[in-house]
Amino acid sequence: MPRTRLYLVRHGEQDPATSRAPTGGLSALGRDQAERAGRRLAGVPFDAIHHSPLTRAAETAALIGAHLPSIPRHACDHVADRTPVPSPEARDDYPARWHAWLDETPPDERDEDAAALRAAVAHFGVVAGRDRHELLITHNFVIGWFVRHALDAPAWRWLGLNQENAALTIVEWTGDRPPMLVAFNDTGHLA
């Protein structure tokens, strides 16, 4: 039975001097983390590497991609940095303790009712006529959303599913079964 396996990697540590800047690149530690992730993933038969357009993710993808030289790599808006925030109608679906924090989400990161993240899951979480292995280099909240989806948890439950820089999470779809969380926040290659 064919399966789709998504390997989700959070970008390496961003240079503290450019923290939160979209053009900010990786720190020396972030480059080392990406190299280690690349060595860890070198034997996986990936179909493609999809990375967030932000510099820290693109640099992570380039360093990992050096260990996967024949695998096509491209920027992908489906894995851009997003924060799923509730619409006014869905606000009460989120715990009240998070409302003030969510209200301060920058406009360019807001994903109301996770519309874009739901589209990302629909795009990547499909089973084709053959096995697929896709590498997504992205951001903490995006990975949290995929994990929340795999666990069929409430919409707000991406909160607190924190991913270390360059850690590995794997979600798998097989046939008509619900998705399965294979690994979460695996940092064994970073030790």
Per-residue pLDDT band at 176 (split at 50, 70, 90): confident
pLDDT tens by residue, 68-111: 999 999 999 999 999 999 999 999 999 999 999 999 999 989 99
Q: How many residues does the chain have?
A: 191
State yes or no: pLDDT of 16 exceeds 90.
Answer: no
Q: Which DSSP helix (H) or strand (E) runs through 138?
A: strand 132-138
As a whole number of angstroms, the distance between CA 70 and CA 47 comes to: 10
**In sequence order, what are the residues at sequence separation of 6 or more whose Cβ sits closer than 8 angstroms to the Cβ of residue 161?**
143, 144, 147, 148, 184
pLDDT on residue 169 = 98
Going along the chain from its start, the domains and CATH numbers come out as 7-16+23-131+139-190 (3.40.50.1240)
pLDDT on residue 24 = 85
Torsion of CA 129, 62, 114, 169, to 10 degrees: 70
**In sequence order, what are the residues at sequence separation of 6 or more whose Cβ sits closer than 8 angstroms to the Cβ of residue 38?**
63, 64, 65, 66, 67, 68
pLDDT on residue 21 = 67
pLDDT tens by residue, 20-68: 666 789 999 999 999 999 999 999 999 999 999 999 999 999 999 999 9
Specify the pTM.
0.96
pLDDT tens by residue, 75-86: 999 999 999 999
State yes or no: pLDDT of 175 exceeds 90.
Answer: no
State yes or no: pLDDT of 119 exceeds 90.
Answer: yes
pLDDT on residue 22 = 67
